[in-house]
Structure 1
Amino acid sequence: MRLTAFTDISLRIVMRLAVAREREPLTTRAVSGMLAVPYTHAAKAVARLSELGVVEARRGRGGGLALTAQGRAASVGALVRALEAAGDVVGCEDDPPCPLRAACRLRTALRQAREAFYASLDTVTVASLVDDPTGPALLSLTTPGERAAVTAP
């Protein structure tokens, strides 16, 4: 099973916010630069994570992004379920529909496999994802502007 790019970006944002220092104001633009993802994609992910209560997004002076306590304790399985589309793994009802759809056992087997995948992620929390060595690696990420300043003569 392959996660959508949206879910991948969302999980990377959550992980980066999980190691953010309190006095480190992270904006959507900064996080998108650190994670090398398009700003528009990051903004959509932050909006969805905010709707889920995982991320607090504050606008204006002194604003920024922060992982909520609920977000830190969230299971990765629950997050992936909430972020992934609810459809089937295969397109049985596509146009044209699969001629086997009325008597197919594959769709059920794939649904069970998907649920087993999510269940295996239910035991993993966001907080556990950023244990060593991941946390320090996340903290070392810089924005493109910071990288350019470091390499400038």
Structure 2
Amino acid sequence: MQLTTHTDYALRLLVYLAVHHGKQPATIQDAATRFDISSNHLAKVAQTLVQHGYIVSHRGRGGGLKLALPVADIGIGKLVRKTENLQLLPCFSDEIACPIQPACILRNALHKAQAAFLNVLDDYTLADVIFNKDRLQELLEIPEST
């Protein structure tokens, strides 16, 4: 299964916010620069994360982004379910009628594969992903007093 850029950026932004340790909230521009990605696209991703309650956004001077939940409470599988369209094929929808659907083994196999993929992701939280926080800060060149 291939994740969309939107989910990729959501995961990156959550990692960045989890390892950002400054006194000021993190900014979209700073995160985008550190990952060398589009700040406009990252802003849309941040809106999605705010809507789903993963982050909070403060506008104005001194504003920025912060995690809304403890890192141990942010499940990777749950995030992927919220940010991805998980209909791998049109027949995954109840609205599409396929003449072979009652006997289709491929559809069932793909459902099982997708469930296995998501079950593995369910075993991970943001806390697990940032276990090597010091190394991530080093790679993202986050100074000690940001």
Q: Is TM-score (shorter-chain normalized) higher than 0.5?
A: yes
Per-residue CA deviation, residues 79-138 of structure 1 (Å, 9 max, x unaligned), is: 111111132x13448xxx977556422112111211111111111110111112xx2343
Which position in structure 2 is the counterpart of 1:46? 46
Distance 2:2 2:119 in 1: 15
Map 1:35-74 onto structure 2 (within 5 A).
35-70=35-70, 72-74=72-74
Map 1:81-96 onto structure 2 (within 5 A).
81-87=81-87, 89-92=88-91
1:139 aligns with 2:127: no
What is the letter of the counterpart of residue 50 of structure 1?
Answer: V
Which position in structure 2 is the counterpart of 1:118? 118
Distance 2:25 2:66 in 1: 8
RMSD between aligned residues = 2.3
Distance 1:29 1:52 in 2: 21
1:105 aligns with 2:105: yes
Per-residue CA deviation, residues 1-56 of structure 1 (Å, 9 max, x unaligned), is: 11111111110110110111141431111111111111121011100001111011
Map 1:13-28 onto structure 2 (within 5 A).
13-28=13-28
Map 1:75-86 onto structure 2 (within 5 A).
75-86=75-86
Per-residue CA deviation, residues 56-82 of structure 1 (Å, 9 max, x unaligned), is: 111101110101225552110101111
SS of residue in 2 equivalent to 1:69: coil
What is the letter of the counterpart of residue 116 of structure 1?
Answer: A
- Aligned partners of 1:28 and 1:39 also within 8 Å: yes
What is the letter of the counterpart of residue 35 of structure 1?
Answer: F
Q: How many residues align?
A: 137
Provide TM-score, normalisation by structure 2: 0.82
Relative CO higher for 1 or 2, CA cutoff 8 Å, sep ≥ 6?
A: 2
